[in-house]
Amino acid sequence: MTLDLTLTVDLIHKFKVAQRAMERAMLGVSQRDRIRNDEILRRTKVTDIAQRISKLMWQRAGHVCGRTDGRWGRHVLEWRPRIGKRSVGRPPAR
């Protein structure tokens, strides 16, 4: 099963918030205790989820690009940008 996630700023923020909530649960502290996130991270010694996801996605991209059976990587590598300028105005209806 492949999981297609676009790593947006909003998604990274959601992952970080969820990770901090789980770390607080591991330590048995609440947000009322006003403990900083870096202190929670130091106590739990958990790796940062955003860095881990980013690393895994780049590794997967490298794995997919390295395929030799003529699938995804060839199409990306042989893409050529547009030559000249786009036409002015709204594009015609299909």
Q: What is the pLDDT of residues 51-91, one digit of tens each?
A: 888 888 888 777 777 777 767 666 666 666 677 788 898 88
- At 47, is the secondary structure helix, strand, or coil? coil
Q: Specify the pTM.
A: 0.58
Model pLDDT, residue 35: 93
Distance CA 94, CA 66 (A): 37
- CA torsion 34-42-17-6 (nearest 10°) is 160
